[in-house]
Structure 1
Amino acid sequence: MFLLAQARPILVWPEFSWVPVINGTIFVVLLVLAGYYLEKRFRNSIERRAFLRARILKRLPLNDLNGRDVIQIHTFLDHASVSVLQRIADSSSWFQEAFLPEFAHYLAHQGELPAWRDVLIFKRLQHLVHDLGPHPKKILPVVFLTDGEEAFPGFLYSGIPGADFVQKSLHAKVFTKKLYHSFPVSPGEKIHVLFSGEEKDWVRFEATVLSIKTNDIGIQVHSVPEKDPEKTRIWGGIQMVGAGGEQEDTPLPDEFKGSLSQILKYGGMDSSTNGDIQRRVHAFKEHPGLVRKEHKPEEIQTFIQLYAACYARYRSDVSPIPKPVLLFLYFFFLDETLLSPSRIVQLYSTLEKLRSRVQDSHPSHHTLAVYLLPEWLGLILAGKKTPSKNHLAQSYEQVKASIVRRTGTDEFETQSGIADLLHLLDWELSNLLFNGLIGVSSNPNLAYPILSEDQMYGETDSFLITPEKLNAVVDYVHKIDRHLFYRQISFEPEQSPGKPELAMKEIFPDCIILPVFGNRGVLWQEITAGLTSRGRLVFPQVLNENVTLAITRTLGEFRWEMERTVRGRKWKDSSPPSLTSEYYLYLENYRKSPAMTPDAKKTVDQQMTKYRKNLKDMFSSDYSYWILFESSGKLRLNRVSRDILNRYVPFSPSTRAELQKHPILKESMDSFEARKRRLVSGIKKRYNPYFQTGNVPVEVLETIQFFEEM
């Protein structure tokens, strides 16, 4: 006890101090005050935004605009900063000097509409809005068109050009679209300027670019404005006849009346599902843009269920099929009030032409096959095509096997043949149609399957992707890039079994056209079962973009993904160098590259921002410029990317012969010819033992032909 008493106490109570209490109190008070201040500022900002938004909307006659255009304006006001809204609301010439340029910039970069559609919206707004300014500037909405048919919306700060405008210099603004680079024209180059006239005609004149500074450009008019019948036919226009515009005078055929009821009756689904679909279609008619923006994936799946039910009956029904059902299966047409009567008649006329086309069910490996969705589903159900993989890259058979392993029973074994086919149909539509619909839209939030009039302006056929259009563009690209569909495979020669050889083989992909609206094509699956299987490309039936550019970009995506698939995990490795590794290193080190100018580096910075550093999208964009512009001597790429594409995506010999005359491209063409000679010599030396035996494998002959035709 004595020892314990002599020990030091284990716990010593600290001496009390008010300093921590005061500091803690001050911290809590400051925290509460900061929270109160931030909350008050946030609340005031919301109230201020709501006040300014309401003030601007009060000036806009939205009741006279197309429903989707109204949603575009609302979305712009939701995204605009308070300072921008304040400037619009306070400007004396609020519409032309503040609202229109800001709205144009938003619509060009964030919207998924083509440039000429933006211009028609601007023109319609100008017609309906009376500017409050005493002396508003004259602004003419125009489309700037490059020689390669790249279209950009913009404004011309002048009145309507006439014959007296020739050789005059004008100030203009141009707004770049989200899917492309910056405005790809340099000072001194020629462009075409188009504007919509008062009689619903598009008028064109030529001009030269004098200067470019961000969005502001100076141009000099070179020709007298003339009507362009081709663009008028394709793009259409808006005739300013009162608030309602031009009236539809084509009567609706009786067989299309009550289309939604006919489609639901043909599908034979339960009454609750039918009622749900009717409510969704009604909501879409009332608020088309809002529904597309705020829909849930379950809504699209409901429409896909209706599609599956209608297709299942269509495949087995021998009785006459109602015309609205056919339009639904091929175009996702649901309600006759969503399209004009003349549009419906044109669609059905086009459908008859499409259905009369004979498609080979067993295309060879050297033929591009194009299928509409009903044709593709027929091949899947007939076992002639492999079902698509799901979002986890699992095949249909793998998922069935995993269910058996998990449950211990094979529920598919007890199903009848019809039930199994219906299950397979649901699988294909749930994967291909659902994911394809989202993939073909540059803004997935606005992807919705219902066909409506606001997706098509002008002539109907100009918006539809047909097998003939698709094949024409692919043939054009293939003539320039002869090795587009070649891929590296491995094979075992009969002469030396067990010793695999590498060879190049040409395998064309399958192209599937979905009955939906979109503005791009996508690579659905690069391969389905092994490197020798055909890949799959998906395109929308209604394409609201330049057909040639959209298809070429998709082919560039196909080329990139096939190279990545063949290389596997080593697609970034530079030993040996490849297209993917070289392009990856170029984007990793472009800021340090001595071969690139500051302007070229700035352009790549903009490209990285626009495509969110997605290498596939960046490469497909460069590929489209390489094929469509650089192949004809119009420079669009920087020196480093041009060198990579010249080595791994060479032009055809005839194209290179033409470019020998180009002062900048001649050196690249000469260096490739020297490289080609070394490659051909090396490949012949490698395969020389087969020629000595006199028994040369077909794969070897194709590989030698591949290098000789480079």
Structure 2
Amino acid sequence: MEKIRIGKGQVLHRKGDEVKTLEIVLAGALTMTNGNDVNVRLGSGSMAGTAYLPGETYSFDYVAAEDSTLMAMDYLTPDDIVEAVIGTPAIAPVIAAANMELAAAILDSLTATTDAAITLCKELKYNYNEYKFMCVQLGATPAQFDFVEHLIPLESSGLDSSWEADLCRAYCNQRGALDKGYYPLDVCFCVETVMRASTISRKFSQELLSVLTFVEQTKSGAASFIEAFYNVKSRVDTNNRGDSNAAPHIQNALDMILAFSGVDQETADTFRKDVRAYTDTEDRLEKSDEMRHLRRSLSDGFYKIYAAAFFKSLNTDHLPVEVRMFFLFGFVDETLAGTANTEILYQTVVGWENDPEERIVSLYDWLLKIYRGQALPSKNEFDNDWFEYLREELRTGSISQAESDALQNDTQAMVSFEIRNMVTIANKATYGRLATFVPIFNAQDVVRPLEKCLASPARVREAFDKVTAIDYSCFYRPTLINFPDFKIPHFIYDVEVKPYIILMPNIGSRGLMWQEIEGVRRTTPAHMMISIYHSEDLDNTVVQMCAQFRWEMCRRIQGVRYADVSEPSLTSEYTNYLQFYRKNGYLSADIKERIKMSLQKARNDYKVIFMNDYEKYIQNEAFGMPRLNKVAREILFKYCTYSQKFRDERGTNPQYAPLMDRWNVAHNSRVHNVDLVLRKVQRMNPDAVPQEILDELKYLKL
């Protein structure tokens, strides 16, 4: 015999392992589980292994339910069970009582599993008849599912009412009396109880395994019918709802989503179990190990199902409303979401209006654009885009050259790459509370009325328009072109490239500027993310995202010299200002102290300081409310100049008048140079003026 200790969650035995040892639980507890519905607790005194004969294989996993101490011994013959009890006379009564209670617990699990199996058969038969009726309603010919038609319902084994079951219950009910007047009389009584419990447990376990196998085979065999049933049910529900604005009574949404996705039975069962456990949890923000494990399992299952459902949706002309709610909001269960919230989500999804420019899109529509080849996947956490990722995989030998060539234009692989990388990270980041994040819609996350925090494409567009109405050049980039026909070797013009705004399916509080360009070309759109239900002020969040874009885009253009003040730019001048603010004669002692405190608060992150100043510049300074010091104001006005309307309004302000005069001199010179180019081109060929020159003149009038 030897004592062993295992930590909570550690696996003692796995299903399929050979039975070679017995373990007595001295402290803590184990769980006999199949990973889903069977969870039998082995408390102090219980013996793991007695439900099997030596050399058999474990039918279930045995996992530590908490930190546990066990007494382990070899198990070569059934007599080793007797030796184990006799060898521990001090705790023999506890072992006897615990093993009989273990047999009763296995019986309870068998009874519950048998009831569930019988109910499953009844539901399949009922739903099959309902399926045929609904097909008639749709005017369609019902498909024939032989498995369901010929399904023989499970019959109870009768063990629940057998003498063994009665004996187990009697031992458990009379434990107090047995502890006082039976077990202590002689260790032989304990041996007899343990051996009898061992025999009964083995019988119950074998029947439990048989029922579980039946359930698994039934679900597997009926999978195609379940998918067809929910597809037809969804169509009938849609027809019944018609054009009515009344929210329907949504039931069994999770079953609908799982059936539509077509994920394997193990994934579906695990996710269903996790959703049920999460729903039953009173405090879903708890940070215990159990909740961390549950959140991780929920997230893994969610993204597997999301990917499977997305690819399935490409081959169907009908998306059930529950699946559309799943794609847009992460909705999986009406109980978890709450009845009132479910109704609001339904109303939102049926009234959803896409962005006319297709720049502000839901996550589903974004993945659809990637699949159709209309957009490239976002960069991963290592800042590698799709093609860089393939090159890295090729370099490390993870894929061959032939595989790399085949994947170059494989849009399905691109979508999978996007879900594995950007979606999993950005969904959590936009949520805002990383430690308690789960990707499924949860009523406890609703901190504001949903109607007021919906970030619809129209609302997001309006928020961005407010910024660009002030900082008109925010999304313009300088671009080089040449016109050999007009002997113009290079011409720099500004082109506006609006970003993609991806609405992540969560209730969150943060916006995210994921990348400023795609690949290496500067004329490609940025990728930004924001929660589809945004609990904070949307205008403030958009301003912050634009500020971050401004900084990152300047760094991209300047390259390694982004902080070199000898090449004037937004980042270099701001870095120089913050590095040497103590020596700046334009700043008072009070302002220098404020800058010092700001740097400490931002941990010397110059970008954070700039973003805060940019927010004041857009939301306060633009409307005549000074919030910046002289140096910061000068840099921001130089590189983030106000549009014509706001220049006119601030032109008489003594704080902006000298800045305006300097800007006008430089601007007029630039207009003059472009005008000279235009005249040259018109003299050579007035009917073939390049559009880029006309666009630049138009830009300079903003």
Which TM-score band applies after superposition, normalised by the shorter structure?
0.5 to 0.7
CA distance in 2, matches of 1:284, 1:327: 19
Does the CA-based 8 Å contact 1:449-1:517 persist in structure 2? no
1:607-618 equivalences in 2 (<5 Å) = 607-618=598-609
Residue 575 (structure 2) pairs with residue 576 (structure 1) = no
> Which residue in 1 is equivalent to 2:333?
335
Return closer, same or farther for 1:498/1:275 CA change in 2, 3 Å cut-off. Answer: farther
Residue 324 (structure 2) pairs with residue 323 (structure 1) = no
> Which residue in 2 is equivalent to 1:311?
310
Structure 1 counterpart of 2:691, from 698, 702, 706:
698
Return closer, same or farther for 1:455/1:484 CA change in 2, 3 Å cut-off. Answer: same
* Cα displacement (A) at 1:464: 1.2
* Cα displacement (A) at 1:253: 7.2
Return closer, same or farther for 1:676/1:687 CA change in 2, 3 Å cut-off. Answer: same
CA distance in 1, matches of 2:366, 2:560: 32
| Cα deviation 1:651-680 (Å, max 9, x = unaligned) | 112212212344544444444334433443
* Cα displacement (A) at 1:571: 1.3
Residue 480 (structure 2) pairs with residue 490 (structure 1) = yes
Amino acid at match of 2:596: D
* Matched length: 447
TM-score, length-scaled by structure 2: 0.58
CA distance in 2, matches of 1:313, 1:448: 23
> Which residue in 2 is equivalent to 1:622?
613
| Cα deviation 1:632-657 (Å, max 9, x = unaligned) | 01122222111111111111122122
> Which residue in 2 is equivalent to 1:377?
367
CA distance in 2, matches of 1:619, 1:442: 21
> Which residue in 1 is equivalent to 2:253?
259
Does the CA-based 8 Å contact 1:404-1:410 persist in structure 2? no
Structure 2 counterpart of 1:344, from 342, 345, 350:
342
CA distance in 1, matches of 2:436, 2:602: 19
Residue 517 (structure 2) pairs with residue 527 (structure 1) = yes
More off after superposition, 533-542 vs 443-452: 443-452
Structure 2 counterpart of 1:288, from 276, 280, 284:
284
Residue 419 (structure 2) pairs with residue 429 (structure 1) = yes
1:659-670 equivalences in 2 (<5 Å) = 659-670=650-661
CA distance in 1, matches of 2:470, 2:440: 37
Structure 1 counterpart of 2:585, from 580, 588, 594:
594
1:64-463 equivalences in 2 (<5 Å) = 255-285=249-279, 286=281, 287-290=283-286, 294=292, 300-319=299-318, 321-354=319-352, 357-360=353-356, 363=357, 369-404=359-394, 406=397, 407-408=399-400, 410-411=402-403, 421-463=411-453
> Which residue in 2 is equivalent to 1:54?
none
Return closer, same or farther for 1:450/1:707 CA change in 2, 3 Å cut-off. Answer: same
Q: Secondary structure at the match of 1:480?
A: coil
Return closer, same or farther for 1:334/1:610 CA change in 2, 3 Å cut-off. Answer: farther
CA distance in 2, matches of 1:523, 1:426: 21
Return closer, same or farther for 1:422/1:700 CA change in 2, 3 Å cut-off. Answer: closer
Return closer, same or farther for 1:677/1:536 CA change in 2, 3 Å cut-off. Answer: same
Residue 533 (structure 2) pairs with residue 542 (structure 1) = yes
Does the CA-based 8 Å contact 1:522-1:554 persist in structure 2? yes
Q: Secondary structure at the match of 1:290?
A: coil
CA distance in 1, matches of 2:405, 2:673: 55
Residue 503 (structure 2) pairs with residue 510 (structure 1) = no
CA distance in 2, matches of 1:374, 1:597: 52
> Which residue in 2 is equivalent to 1:243?
none
Does the CA-based 8 Å contact 1:256-1:323 persist in structure 2? no
Structure 1 counterpart of 2:636, from 631, 638, 645:
645
TM-score, length-scaled by structure 1: 0.58
Percent identity of the aligned residues? 26
| Cα deviation 1:483-514 (Å, max 9, x = unaligned) | 11111112122336793433222222222111
CA distance in 1, matches of 2:509, 2:414: 29
Return closer, same or farther for 1:566/1:412 CA change in 2, 3 Å cut-off. Answer: closer
Residue 469 (structure 2) pairs with residue 479 (structure 1) = yes
Q: Secondary structure at the match of 1:489?
A: strand
Q: Secondary structure at the match of 1:427?
A: helix
> Which residue in 2 is equivalent to 1:633?
624
Q: Secondary structure at the match of 2:286?
A: helix
* Cα displacement (A) at 1:324: 2.6
Amino acid at match of 1:615: Y
Does the CA-based 8 Å contact 1:646-1:668 persist in structure 2? yes
Q: Secondary structure at the match of 1:495?
A: helix
Return closer, same or farther for 1:457/1:687 CA change in 2, 3 Å cut-off. Answer: same
* Greater C-alpha radius of gyration: 2
CA distance in 2, matches of 1:636, 1:589: 21
Amino acid at match of 1:343: N
Q: Secondary structure at the match of 1:541?
A: strand
Return closer, same or farther for 1:446/1:602 CA change in 2, 3 Å cut-off. Answer: farther
Q: Secondary structure at the match of 2:285?
A: helix
Does the CA-based 8 Å contact 2:373-2:411 persist in structure 1? no
CA distance in 2, matches of 1:402, 1:616: 30
Amino acid at match of 2:316: D
Does the CA-based 8 Å contact 1:520-1:554 persist in structure 2? no
1:25-36 equivalences in 2 (<5 Å) = none
The answer for unaligned runs of 5 or more in structure 2 is 1-245
* Cα displacement (A) at 1:548: 0.7
Amino acid at match of 1:318: D
CA distance in 2, matches of 1:522, 1:271: 35
Does the CA-based 8 Å contact 2:363-2:504 persist in structure 1? yes
> Which residue in 2 is equivalent to 1:566?
557
* Cα displacement (A) at 1:468: 0.5
CA distance in 1, matches of 2:590, 2:511: 30
| Cα deviation 1:224-261 (Å, max 9, x = unaligned) | xxxxxxxxxxxxxxxxxxxxxxxxxxxx9775223333
Q: Secondary structure at the match of 1:572?
A: coil
Return closer, same or farther for 1:594/1:532 CA change in 2, 3 Å cut-off. Answer: same
Return closer, same or farther for 1:693/1:445 CA change in 2, 3 Å cut-off. Answer: farther
Amino acid at match of 1:410: A
Does the CA-based 8 Å contact 2:516-2:526 persist in structure 1? yes
Q: Secondary structure at the match of 2:349?
A: helix
* Cα displacement (A) at 1:271: 2.9
| Cα deviation 1:345-398 (Å, max 9, x = unaligned) | 0111011111xx2555xx5xxxx7211111111111111212222222333234
Return closer, same or farther for 1:373/1:652 CA change in 2, 3 Å cut-off. Answer: same
Tell me the C-alpha RMSD between the 2 structures.
Answer: 3.1
Return closer, same or farther for 1:341/1:515 CA change in 2, 3 Å cut-off. Answer: same
Residue 651 (structure 2) pairs with residue 657 (structure 1) = no
